[in-house]
Amino acid sequence: MEFQDKKIICKDCGNEFIFTAGEQEWYAQKGFSEPARCSECRKIRKAEKQDNNQDNIRY
Ligand SMILES: [Zn+2]
């Protein structure tokens, strides 16, 4: 299977981002579906999730 760079519109910020061939290959190997958000928004969401987890541990 051949992968090609793909433009995706981020669900959160509406910016266009490139889902690169290399990323697509990695996602396919892991069995993940393609991302709906740009890497920046994914980073933010991940950070929020970690904060929530830390809160759960703390209390
Ligand atoms: Zn975004």
- For ligand 1, an ion, list residues with CB under 5 A: 10, 12-13, 38, 41
Q: d(Cα 29, Cα 56) in Å, to the nearest integer? A: 32
Query: What is the CA(50)–ligand 1 centre distance, in A?
Result: 18
pLDDT in tens, 2-59: 899 999 999 999 999 999 999 999 999 999 999 999 999 999 999 998 887 766 665 5
The model's pTM is: 0.72
Query: What is the CA(31)–ligand 1 centre distance, in A?
Result: 22
Domain ranges of the chain: 6-58
